[in-house]
Structure 1
Amino acid sequence: MKKKPTFFKRIQDIYHTKPDFFWSVAWVALMPSVGSLISIRYLLSNYEDWSYPWVDSPFFIFTFTLLAAIFMGFALIPTTLLAVLTGSIWGWQAFPYLVAAYTLASVLGYLLGKTISADLLETLLGQYPKAQKVVAEKQNRMGNLIFFIRISPAIPFAFSNILFALLSTGLQKVIWFGLWGMLPRTTLAFSSGVFAESLYNAIKNRGMDSTMDLLLLFTFLLIGILGIWHFFRSKS
């Protein structure tokens, strides 16, 4: 009988056939931290002398939404940091545009993920029929998984987009359930920026400047973990 290849051997084989997928995962794992360091250093250089465009300008709305979506969709900056900065600089008037940018970034990230992970799940789980069966049985409930992954602060935004594409959750579900999943965390980070005494304090605290913020963050993490666990443990 032919010996079944190990999981890590299959990973190695997939790397040779689809190296772009692995480089993409490495990119979304490392680049947000690099982007965070660069953007913080840039913003804090003479930040008191910065002047910012008006929120109600149509040009600002279009430019901000497009650039924020690109930066988040390509994992150039952490979503939490962007929310804190937006809240600190422009206040609640900019919140709808940030939400719109998140939605566009989800679309961009998912579509990019589909191009690099096409048919990869079947290849990855080809020798594991039980795992394939679980994924197939859960397809109708992928919206629940999207929600709990988005609400969890432990799973990076860009990485989750690749995961959703790999699982073929469907773009509409990513947009709708992802929106409601990301709103609690985004609102927390954004409000922290709004109420920060200065841009420096907003960047320093990163949405965790009080015991209540930490408690809410822990609550989101707990909800995410329990929700994901229940998703895979419950019967379809």
Structure 2
Amino acid sequence: MKTPIPKSITGPAIAGIVLSVTPIVFTSLLTYYAIVYESIIATFPVWQWVVITLVCALTSAGLTPPTMLALIFGYFLGWQAVLPLFVINFGGILFINLVVRRLDPDRFLAFIRRNPKAQSVLDRILNNELTVIFYAKLSPVLPFGLTNLVFALSGAKLRNILLGGFLGMTPRTLLAIWSGREAREIRTLLENPNQSTWTQIIVIGLVIVSIAGLWHIIRKSLK
């Protein structure tokens, strides 16, 4: 006798679990390979960094955390890492949106619509979707791939996801590049990326602003 698959286990639900777990695993792998092969990576020519950038533009969608990549790129490339990292960030957002089109987002929205109040809150949040995306992307705590999935499933406009992602990711990306550029040893950098007092203050500030902004919007929506 076959056990029926719960209706709550949908494509988006599985994708959400994957996007929450895999970054943790790949962060450990990135740390290991960056430390072990530091001398080899330091000799990479431009064309190899271009290839790495294009590959990471896909893997950043759910495997490789952009902040971790920003630390590594910043360590080896300095401020020259700015352009590749924005290519990676935009590539991850676009890739997630393409994947969502092949999942079953309609079932996700149907689940939300079962609760009129939840639907009302979602509708009002979508009226401020650019602001919501900005505050969500500003926080270094929220997973990059998971937030992209949620916004894509919610029906947010792609241009708002891209613009909000760009505005929100810029401070944390530049901070990570700066931390990587200033680091003397990659092991110390990756094992304790926020060792600088100023870095800790800025990260805490970004989290506070992100939480305060999202809470303000959600509270208005609940009213």
TM-score (norm 2): 0.89
CA contact (8 A) 2:81 2:177 kept: no
The alignment status of 1:180 with 2:167, answered yes or no, reads: yes
Task: For 2:187 and 2:217, locate their aligned partners in 1 and report how far apart those are by CA, in whole Å.
Answer: 40
Pairing 1:6-21 to 2, within 5 Å after superposition = 12-15=6-9, 18=10, 20-21=11-12
Partner in structure 2 of residue 42 of structure 1: 33
Partner in structure 1 of residue 21 of structure 2: 30
Quick one: which amino acid aligns to residue 78 of structure 2?
G
The alignment status of 1:167 with 2:172, answered yes or no, reads: no
Task: For 2:67 and 2:220, locate their aligned partners in 1 and report how far apart those are by CA, in whole Å.
Answer: 31
CA contact (8 A) 2:125 2:132 kept: no
Task: For 1:48 and 1:64, locate their aligned partners in 2 and report how far apart those are by CA, in whole Å.
Answer: 17
**Number of equivalenced pairs:** 218
Query: Which deviates more, 170-179 or 118-127?
Result: 118-127
Greater relative contact order (Cα < 8 A, sep 6+): 2
Pairing 1:1-236 to 2, within 5 Å after superposition = 12-15=6-9, 18=10, 20-54=11-45, 57=46, 59-60=47-48, 62-73=50-61, 75-206=62-193, 208-234=194-220
**Aligned pair in 2 of structure 1 residues 113, 130: CA closer, same or farther (>3 Å)?**
same
C-alpha displacement of 1:60? 4.2
Quick one: which amino acid aligns to residue 43 of structure 1?
A
C-alpha displacement of 1:139? 2.3
Unaligned runs of 5+ in 2: 1-5
Structure 1 counterpart SS, 2:94: helix
Task: For 2:178 and 2:154, locate their aligned partners in 1 and report how far apart those are by CA, in whole Å.
Answer: 33
Taking only aligned residues, the RMSD between alpha carbons, in angstroms, comes to 2.0
Query: Which deviates more, 24-33 or 117-126?
Result: 117-126
Structure 2 counterpart SS, 1:112: helix
C-alpha displacement of 1:50? 4.2
CA contact (8 A) 1:120 1:166 kept: no
Percentage of matched positions with identical amino acids: 25
C-alpha displacement of 1:49? 4.8
TM-score (norm 1): 0.85
Task: For 2:7 and 2:59, locate their aligned partners in 1 and report how far apart those are by CA, in whole Å.
Answer: 32
Unaligned runs of 5+ in 1: 1-11
**Aligned pair in 2 of structure 1 residues 49, 169: CA closer, same or farther (>3 Å)?**
closer
Deviations 1:17-70 (A, max 9, x none): x2x32221121111111111122222222533544323xx4x346423311211
Task: For 1:78 and 1:220, locate their aligned partners in 2 and report how far apart those are by CA, in whole Å.
Answer: 17
